[in-house]
Amino acid sequence: MKISSLITSIFGVVSLTLASTASQAQSYPDRPVRIIVPYAAGGASDAVTRTVAAKLAEMWKVGVVVENRGGGGGNIGCEAAARSAPDGYTLLMATVGTHGINPAIFAKLPYDPVKDFEPVSLVASTVSILTVNPALPVRSVQELVAYAKANPGKLTFGSSGNGSSHHLAGEMLNMRANVQTRHVPYKGTASMMTDLLGGQIDMTFDPIISSLPHVKSGKLRALAVTSAQRVPMLPELPSMQEAGVPNYDVGSWYGLMAPAGTPRAIVAKISADVARVVAMVDVKDKLVQQGATSIGSTPDQLGAHVKSEIAKWAPIVKASGATVN
């Protein structure tokens, strides 16, 4: 009888807990939601987040506040999100940097990209273009690879800093094409672009949205996009794989995360609502203008994506020798 009573009590507690969680999900959100962007305002992650946040605010009839918490390569914002209450009212816009590259490049992170977060949904992705200064005597990726092999160590590529996606895109080219090009790190993309236009460096891997104006003006020559497939924005440009560089796929992605322990019912509701938002025609169009492609995914799909990104970038970071203390 005692065992039977205990089982009945446990079943009752579980039932009440499940009912409470379901009720929370149905009423969610009933107050403003905060989305932390772990970078300064004005970048691609900020633009993508604000586009989606505005639509979620309309849908939810509550404020959706975007909070920029830059610094530490994204680590400061991620730590703040990880330590927030797991109630669905603080979310994080994770990126390839925070949840793909940082685990390999930082000796110690103030957050665990897998254990400290509940995946919600992939939101969007962006790709970069391999561009060269027109003075360089190459007009295709094949010619670039041939030139690099004939002149080992001569070609230089710029990036926005050690460990950045621009940097590792160049290191991936070195690995996949078996060439030797030299990395030149900058403190930001503006100074890097100035030197590329001036011929102080030979090439770079920069987002479409910032490179395209220079390509259209003839100041830079575009050779390929860094994604595995061509992109609608530049259908005439081959992908790096099409151009002969095997297993080359570099892109930035943006995915919503919640603190670990956030109720699954709430996570599922946010994920479904984000999927509806990124499928809207006006949202898709606005993201395209920002050089991004809308995605939308299940929580499990984002979780699997994060794990695959961590595994993909670890050997690239190791081969580059890049570290950040």
Q: How many domains does the chain have?
A: 2
User: Which CATH number belongs to the domain containing residue 154 in this structure?
Assistant: 3.40.190.10
Query: In degrees rounded to 5, what are phi and psi of residue 293?
Result: -120, 130
**Residue 303 placed within a domain:** yes
**Residue 237 placed within a domain:** no
**Residue 307 placed within a domain:** yes
Residues 60 and 91 in one domain: yes
SS3 102: helix
Please, what is the average pLDDT of the chain? Answer: 91
Residues 203 and 152 in one domain: yes
Taking only the tens place, the pLDDT of each residue in 168-212 is 999 999 999 999 999 999 887 888 999 999 999 999 998 888 888
Residues 108 and 170 in one domain: no
The whole-number average pLDDT for the span 97-109 is 93
In whole angstroms, give the CA distance from residue 19 to residue 26.
Answer: 11
Q: How far is CA 3 from CA 6, 13, 14, 15, in A?
A: 5, 15, 16, 18
Sole residue written with tokens 């390509």: 215
Name the more confident of 219 and 290.
219
Tokens of 89: 């009212």
**Residue 26 placed within a domain:** no
User: Which CATH number belongs to the domain containing residue 264 in this structure?
Assistant: 3.40.190.150
Residues 255 and 121 in one domain: yes
Residues 137 and 273 in one domain: no
**Residue 65 placed within a domain:** yes
Residues 176 and 310 in one domain: no
**Residue 25 placed within a domain:** no
Taking only the tens place, the pLDDT of each residue in 150-174 is 999 999 999 888 888 889 999 999 9
Q: How far is CA 307 from CA 253, 274, 304, in A?
A: 14, 21, 5
Q: Which of 209, 225, 241 is the last residue of a domain?
A: 225
Other C-beta atoms lying within 10 Å of the C-beta of residue 244: 15
Beta-bridge mates of residue 147? none
Q: How far is CA 29 from CA 24, 57, 68, 265, 275, in A?
A: 8, 10, 21, 12, 17
Domain that residue 79 falls in: 31-126+251-320
